[in-house]
Chains A and B, each alone.
Chain A
């Protein structure tokens, strides 16, 4: 298996809306205004329609209806609207079966939404400044799995051997077999789509948060949310829970074992919202 072949197959992904790149640019540009963001999103009918549906969904439970992108930005702020728009644009890639990882259709998408909501909850609780970035990174972090999925099935026995006999983690086994793991591959996708440095870094380090170059706790939060999803069993396929536990990442964010249990218990309250968000982004 050639690493170059795998990297070339990034082009088989359904490209995200060209709007994404512009949205990312606006959100990271301190000179941009709300009006700039509204103009870009309004341009895409499908995303506008789904964005408004999401804003008006039971999850947010707003007293008044949001009727326009302008209102959404005023109410939620630019960061959150950008995240919600991102949710709609990435769905297509995540929804199909990932049979290489033994994941039924929709499971990877469910995991993306669940970990994004959990990461957002932790980021808000810890009052981190980069909630939207953390949300978006959590949503997109497994995009490399979508690419690697086509190669995994035929090499399953080689991967399992490395897990079982050499006690490798799944990403270590991917690297040993393919020369690249799904986190690094996801980062390459993000680079190809011109995502900003922070987003590329968070995708690259979602299983190795302590190696992130982002100076704040973002990588740790993305990592913890992903770990919690695995423990709950959301989006877990043939890779199982074979990823490494980094206690230092949890300690850095300042979460106790009880805090983790609280978040797991809180997942049950989110199940309906997650279903609703999955269905919203299926329409259009």
Chain B
């Protein structure tokens, strides 16, 4: 059954019948993680890089921001038995409007925060497709660990 991970949302599952899907990432980033031994996976869909813009909003919904959402995705998967060294990690999204520069390029800043956090925490990314001007949808089948990336208008690829 499809279980939708909304905007500024995160879901982790070990239910073999579940497929996690997050639609229409735009400048947002979608991170999928999967442990094939524990058969546990999760998706995070965050909108903005850092919670310093509004600590109150981060308290209400930590999945809105990269710096507060990313640790929760991993912690939640560990609760279900996932192990860091077995995780497959996928990062997609972070698209930008044409000619968008500097601080206004939220897509690029969203990507910068995940790179920074992964580097600090020794997380190796298995696959990433970030930036550009396309809209992406990310899907993860818990049973098989199959991960699919759909680019609007351009089809679906299995990662």
Contacts and interface: CB of A to CB of B under 8 A. Distances in A.
Interface stretch (A42-50, A76-84, A175-183, A259-267): A259-267
B157 interface: no
A241 B133 contact: yes
B8 interface: yes
A212 B95 CA distance: 27
The 8 A-B pairs with the shortest beta carbon distances in the complex, nearest first, are A238-B153, A233-B26, A257-B103, A233-B24, A231-B27, A236-B135, A245-B100, A240-B134
A243 B154 contact: no
A224 to B, nearest CB: 11
17 contacts: A231-B107, A233-B135, A236-B24, A238-B153, A238-B154, A240-B134, A240-B135, A240-B153, A241-B98, A241-B133, A241-B135, A242-B133, A260-B104, A264-B106, A265-B48, A267-B7, A268-B47
Interface of A: 101-102, 156, 160, 163, 167, 169, 227, 230-234, 236-245, 247, 250, 257-258, 260-262, 264-265, 267-268, 271
Nearest to B102: A257
A245 B97 contact: yes
A247 B99 CA distance: 9
A226 B57 CA distance: 23
Interface of B: 6-8, 23-28, 47-48, 53-54, 57, 61, 64, 95-104, 106-107, 132-135, 152-154
B53 A241 contact: no
Given A236-B152, A240-B95, 13 more contacts: A231-B28, A232-B27, A233-B25, A234-B26, A236-B24, A238-B153, A240-B133, A240-B152, A241-B27, A242-B98, A244-B97, A244-B98, A257-B102
A230 B100 CA distance: 13
Given A102-B152, A240-B153, A261 B97 contact: no
A140 B115 CA distance: 39
Contacts of A156: 153
A243 B98 contact: yes
Nearest to A237: B152
Given A231-B97, A240-B152, A245 B104 contact: yes
Nearest to B135: A236
Contacts of B134: 240-241
Contacts of A233: 7, 23-28, 135
Given A102-B152, A258-B53, A268-B47, A237 B26 contact: no
A247 B26 contact: no
Contact of B7 (A230, A236, A268): A268
A265 B98 contact: no
B152 A238 contact: yes
Contact of B8 (A237, A242, A261, A268): A268
A236 B48 contact: no
A161 to B, nearest CB: 13
A239 B101 CA distance: 20
A265 B24 contact: no
A237 B135 contact: yes
A258 B48 CA distance: 11
A182 to B, nearest CB: 15
